Amino acid sequence: MPPLMPTSLPFTSPWLLAPMEGVTETCFRDVILSRLSPGELGGAYTEFVRVSSLPIPEWKLAEHLGKKRFGQPVGLQLMGSQEGPLAASADAAIYAGAPLVDLNFGCPAKGVFKDCAGSALLDHPERIEKFVRACVTAAAGRVPVTAKMRCGVRDDTRLEENAQAMEAGGAVMITVHCRTREEGYRDCADWGRVARAVAAVKVPVCGNGSIETHADLERMRRETGCAYAMVGRAALGNPWIFSGYEATAADAARFLLDYAQALLTRKGYHHHGASGRIKQLLFFWTAGGLFEGADEKARKAEKARRLSEKSPESLFAWLEERARSGSAHPAERAAVPSLA
Ligand SMILES: Cc1cc2nc3c(=O)[nH]c(=O)nc-3n(C[C@H](O)[C@H](O)[C@H](O)COP(=O)(O)O)c2cc1C
């Protein structure tokens, strides 16, 4: 008998924030979720939680989910190479409050690959099906289980087979990152692969890979027939990509200061750690004309200068000055935090 599973996904709009290890932790997610309405951003996922030979305890999964709750669901993503601990962790994730559980079949990292987890499983669709079924059975209809995949290890020939294995195991949505492991993050995103997955399964597919603008979100759905679209790196440079709002430099600086402040209130975070995280975002940053300069070359030079800034105080002082520099969205008009 197939395991009992809830059929409806809890997302509040078709646009989703991708899980990104080292970036989409609770502070970043809280800052972005607090700015976007449920109609604009439909949901998010935690970074992957690696499951080895022992299940992850509930308290640890609760930490990954964070304390704050928003209108949109935040799914908990698990990645592992052993069915038993993975299923027990899915159960613990639900006790920890996860409104959905996602399984990672895409991580390309060498260590993960060697342990036959993440993208390594794309050579073993029968194991994928078993892992998904074990987690769906553990979830026992309490929350939906979704799965996220790359299109293959070296090539995309097993794309349909893998998507069908996830569906057969009971996944109620399949996110397709349209690159293979070998393609890494190269600029070769082939949305035709998302369309192939849509044709191969009955469950909703979420298209992912190189969505750069707000208009691309709808284009992904139109060109591939997928039900949902997920944004990764472009959301790190423009958190408003989901709504299409044209942020100002003041909005952008306030977002980054809020993020820094959230990190600083977290145990163990100091000015250097927080400014490192801000610089990680500045590397991707595109919103609001944050970097000043008469032309593209000057703006690039300004970005390089801020990225090489050694003093957290100087970085924060620059952001505070930019935050006060012009008009801000009504939601951004709270007092500028003083961190410098
Ligand atoms: C820094 C970083 C960390 C990532 N961590 C995860 C992760 O924890 N789980 C996952 O499924 N995908 C992870 N990914 C992949 C993204 O979710 C997404 O599939 C990929 O970036 C392609 O989307 P994009 O072209 O919109 O960035 C990560 C990507 C990046 C850049």
> Do β-strands 205-208 and 228-231 pair in parallel, antiparallel, or remain unpaired?
parallel
Q: To test ligand 1's pocket by mutation, which of 76, 177, 228, 241 has the most ligand atoms within 8 angstroms of CB? A: 177
Q: What is the mean pLDDT of the chain?
A: 94
- 119-177 pLDDT, tens digit per residue, is 999 999 999 999 999 999 999 999 999 999 999 999 999 999 999 999 999 999 999 99
Task: Tell me the pLDDT band of 116, cut-offs 50, 70 and 90.
Answer: confident
Annotated catalytic residue 107:
yes
- 282-332 pLDDT, tens digit per residue, is 999 999 999 999 999 999 999 999 999 999 999 999 999 999 987 777 777
Nearest atom within ligand 1 for CA of residue 209:
25
Q: What is the CATH number of domain 15-242?
A: 3.20.20.70
Q: How far is the CA of 317 from the centre of ligand 1 (A)?
A: 31
How far apart are alpha carbons 302 and 276 in whole angstroms? 17
Which element (helix H / strand E) includes 235?
Answer: helix 233-237
Q: Say how many Å lie between the first and final Cα of the chain, rounded.
A: 61
Beta strands in the chain (DSSP E): 15-17, 43-51, 74-80, 101-105, 145-149, 174-177, 205-208, 228-231
pLDDT at 4 over 60: no
What are the extents of the domains in the chain? Answer: 15-242, 249-332
- pLDDT for res 54: 97
Write the CB contacts of 320 (distance below 8 Å, at least 6 apart in sequence).
Answer: 253, 257, 336, 337, 338, 339, 340
pLDDT at 2 over 70: no
pLDDT at 1 over 60: no
How far apart are alpha carbons 309 and 303 in whole angstroms? 10
How far apart are alpha carbons 228 and 15 in whole angstroms? 6
- 203-222 pLDDT, tens digit per residue, is 999 999 999 999 999 999 99
If one counts every other C-beta atom within 10 angstroms of the C-beta of residue 133, the result is 21
- pLDDT for res 235: 98
> Do β-strands 15-17 and 228-231 pair in parallel, antiparallel, or remain unpaired?
parallel
- 179-196 pLDDT, tens digit per residue, is 999 999 998 889 999 999
Q: Indicate the residue type of 199.
A: A
